[in-house]
Amino acid sequence: MPVNRLPALLIATAAIAAAEPAATKPNIILIYADDLGWGDVSSYGATAIHTPQIDRLAEEGMRFTAGYAGASTCTPSRYAMLTGEYAWRDRGRGIARADSPLIIPPGSTTLQSILHDAGYHTAIVGKWHLGLGDGGSPLDWNGKIAPGPLETGFDEAFIIPATVDRVPCVYVENHHVVGLDPDDPIEVSYGERIDPRPSGAEARDTLKMDWSHGHNQTIVNGISRIGWMTGGTTALWRDEDIADTLARRAVRVIEEQKDRPFFLFFSLHDPHVPRVAHERFEGTTTMGPRGDVILQIDWCVGEINRTLDRLGLADNTLVILTSDNGPVLDDGYKDQAAELIGDHSPAGPFRGWKYGRWEGSNRVPFIFRWPARIPADTVNHGIIGQVDFPATFAALVGRDLAENEAPDSFDILPTLLAPSAPARPSIVMEGIRDILGYRSGDWKYHHPTDARRIAWDTGIDIGARPYPMLFKLADDPGEENNLAEDHPEIVEKLHAELQQIKSTP
Ligand code: NG6
Ligand code: CA
């Protein structure tokens, strides 16, 4: 039996359910930034940037210092969070194209299906990046786009299909592209060139934002993207307006659902590339576009805070703020993120970037605010993961999970309600190229691998080494001092634990 299904925890949860039924079904708003680092917000120590709305969540709630994303890139991270299963258990869950098939089996148990079944209205607003369609035939962007979020348990969806740097540059609402003119159909290709217009590689001097690697195919809004696209002119987004569009939509969901429990997955695009803030945020930090879009995130969080206050919903709404993976500076566009970084440390004291298996790659901001039940202004150092959301929210709504449902998910509700309660004993981290890191207690183990060390031509060291690495995080949060040779017995123990997790379930 997984540790998270221990009877004691179930009893504790049941006791809460019996005592205060009203508070057991809080609204849940999951605010999910894209590539925001542990050190990128002021409540986690940033001084070059000030994020008052995020900080307010921390002051009124619980801030975790050891909260982990499911992986250090978007698709596997989101997969783990929504299914409660580590993405690395099966191949094919790497960074998805916009036309990759849906990787969550329709009808399976997910965070959203658990909440839907418990009577919640479930909505996603923002980035999806988990594939669309069944893979049987090429995805037709002009017809019914399915299966997708609705087939995995969402009642409504307003999504960016993959990433903003990938075509098609359009929103999909439920099963259809928003604002599409049928006389101007969309065609998308990630292989053969289908767009005869000058590409980002050819018309480089016309671009609003130059590219540094990849991102040199179809140009939309003066920015070239990954992939080729034609048509859909009336449906194209303007990058400057994406945050506003998503925030407006998220506020609408809250307003419409205010009289019943709802789950809103508010999945932001910022600060992922291309980083293009709305004009009103442009130049508001000393860090260029990357800093400006972090302030734009804070504004989005403010929109949620203000809406909950206005509607009197704040007390019994659980707001979560986290990020899908660690930070990155140059991720394919010349937006001066590296040049203007100054003293700012996007991953705080931790080593590594997006794509890797270092702490900085996987450890992210992680704040929960639920005034009715979670103690305010609390810091929790326990290990938790986004992969724990399905079991935790299942416990919250009184749903028993079978062994094969959300198999890697722990019920962390006890530690959310009382920080002295135990969290996870350990967690697995995933970088690109199937490399795994493993934290158990205060030790971090990197399994030997022959994988290439660097992420594409970004130069980012993902932590791949052909020998084992062992770090004691309390003394060495920056993973500098490899203790594997000094402590072969600990290497062996952690290696055995990781093998055990890999071989089950
Ligand atoms: C990479 C892209 C990067 C980003 C990433 C996905 C290149 C050279 N790099 O392939 O820019 O889009 O995929 O990021 O094309 S994620 O946060 O959605 O996982
Ligand atoms: Ca990401």
Q: What is the mean pLDDT of residues 319-347?
A: 98
Q: Is 1 among the domain residues? A: no
Query: Do 257 and 307 fall within a single domain?
Result: yes
Length of the chain, please? 505
Tally the C-alpha atoms within 13 A of residue 312's C-alpha that lie toward its C-beta: 1
Average pLDDT, the chain: 95
- Nearest atom in ligand 1 to the alpha carbon of residue 165 is 12
37 alpha carbon – ligand 2 mean position (Å): 10
75 alpha carbon – ligand 1 mean position (Å): 10
156 alpha carbon – ligand 2 mean position (Å): 22
Q: What is the mean pLDDT of residues 103-124?
A: 98
315 alpha carbon – ligand 2 mean position (Å): 30
Q: What is the pTM of this model?
A: 0.96
Query: Do 43 and 61 fall within a single domain?
Result: yes
pLDDT (0 to 100) of residue 457: 81
Query: Do 362 and 485 fall within a single domain?
Result: no
The ligand 1 site (C-beta within 6 Å) comprises 34-35, 73-74, 95, 129, 163, 165, 213-215, 226, 272-273, 325, 331-332, 456
Which residue's CA is the nearest one to ligand 1's atom 3?
331
Domain that holds residue 222: 187-230
User: Which residue did the predictor score with more confidence, 102 or 2?
Assistant: 102
Query: Do 347 and 484 fall within a single domain?
Result: no
Q: Are 219 and 200 in contact (CB under 8 A)?
A: yes
As a 3-state breakdown, the chain gives helix, strand, coil percent values, each rounded to 5, of 30, 20, 55
Which residue's CA is the nearest one to ligand 1's atom 4?
331
Residue 17 has pLDDT above 70, yes or no: no
Q: How far apart are CA 247 and CA 245, in angstroms?
A: 6
Place 479 in a pLDDT band, splitting at 50, 70 and 90. very high
CATH number at residue 477: 3.30.1120.10
pLDDT (0 to 100) of residue 18: 40
Which residue's CA is the nearest one to ligand 1's atom 13?
95
Q: What is the mean pLDDT of residues 245-268?
A: 98
Query: Do 90 and 105 fall within a single domain?
Result: yes
Question: pLDDT digit string (tens) for 419-438?
Answer: 999 999 999 999 999 999 99
pLDDT (0 to 100) of residue 11: 40
Which residue's CA is the nearest one to ligand 1's atom 17?
74
Q: Is 182 among the domain residues? A: no
pLDDT (0 to 100) of residue 24: 66
The three-state secondary structure class of 292 is helix
Place 90 in a pLDDT band, splitting at 50, 70 and 90. very high
Query: Do 280 and 405 fall within a single domain?
Result: yes
> Omega before 327 cis (within 30°)?
no
Question: pLDDT digit string (tens) for 391-401?
Answer: 999 999 999 99
Ligand index nearest the alpha carbon of residue 323: 2
| 79, 163, 215: residue to mutate for ligand 1 pocket, most atoms within 8 A of CB | 163
Ligand index nearest the alpha carbon of residue 212: 1
Query: Do 343 and 277 fall within a single domain?
Result: yes
Query: Do 388 and 297 fall within a single domain?
Result: yes
Q: What is the mean pLDDT of residues 497-502?
A: 97
Per the structure, the count of domains in the chain is 3
User: Locate tokens 């990787």: which residue?
Assistant: 103
- Nearest atom in ligand 1 to the alpha carbon of residue 34 is 17
- Nearest atom in ligand 1 to the alpha carbon of residue 325 is 17
Q: Is 181 among the domain residues? A: no
Q: What is the mean pLDDT of residues 329-352?
A: 98
Share of the chain above pLDDT 90, in %: 93
38 alpha carbon – ligand 2 mean position (Å): 13
Residue 20 has pLDDT above 70, yes or no: no
- Sheet of 262-267, strand order: 176-177, 172-173, 156-160, 121-127, 262-267, 27-33, 317-323, 366-369, 62-68, 378-385
Q: Are 66 and 367 in contact (CB under 8 A)?
A: no
Q: Are 278 and 32 in contact (CB under 8 A)?
A: no
Q: What is the mean pLDDT of residues 119-124?
A: 98
Q: How far apart are CA 273 and CA 270, in angstroms?
A: 8
148: nearest Cα among 164, 125, 129, 166: 129
What six digits make up the tokens of 426?
A: 């350990």
pLDDT (0 to 100) of residue 456: 85
CA distances from 424 to 353, 374, 441, 494 (A): 24, 18, 9, 15
Query: Do 335 and 378 fall within a single domain?
Result: yes
pLDDT (0 to 100) of residue 91: 87
CATH number at residue 165: 3.40.720.10
- Nearest atom in ligand 1 to the alpha carbon of residue 456 is 8
pLDDT (0 to 100) of residue 443: 98
422, amino acid identity:
P
- Nearest atom in ligand 1 to the alpha carbon of residue 354 is 17
pLDDT (0 to 100) of residue 115: 98
Q: Is 125 among the domain residues? A: yes
87: nearest Cα among 385, 353, 330: 385
Largest CA distance in the chain: 68
Q: How far apart are CA 399 and CA 141, in angstroms?
A: 37
Query: Do 310 and 346 fall within a single domain?
Result: yes
Which residue's CA is the nearest one to ligand 1's atom 18?
74
Q: What is the mean pLDDT of residues 3-23?
A: 43
SS3 for 228-288 is: EEECCHHHCCCHHHHHHHHHHHHHHHHHHCCCCCEEEEEECCCCCCCCCCCHHHCCCCCCC
Radius of gyration, alpha carbons of the chain: 22
325 alpha carbon – ligand 2 mean position (Å): 5
Place 3 in a pLDDT band, splitting at 50, 70 and 90. very low
Q: Is 72 among the domain residues? A: yes
Residue 315 has pLDDT above 70, yes or no: yes
| 93, 272, 361, 386: residue to mutate for ligand 1 pocket, most atoms within 8 A of CB | 272
| 74, 216, 354: residue to mutate for ligand 1 pocket, most atoms within 8 A of CB | 74
Residue 2 has pLDDT above 90, yes or no: no
Query: Do 434 and 285 fall within a single domain?
Result: no
pLDDT (0 to 100) of residue 13: 45
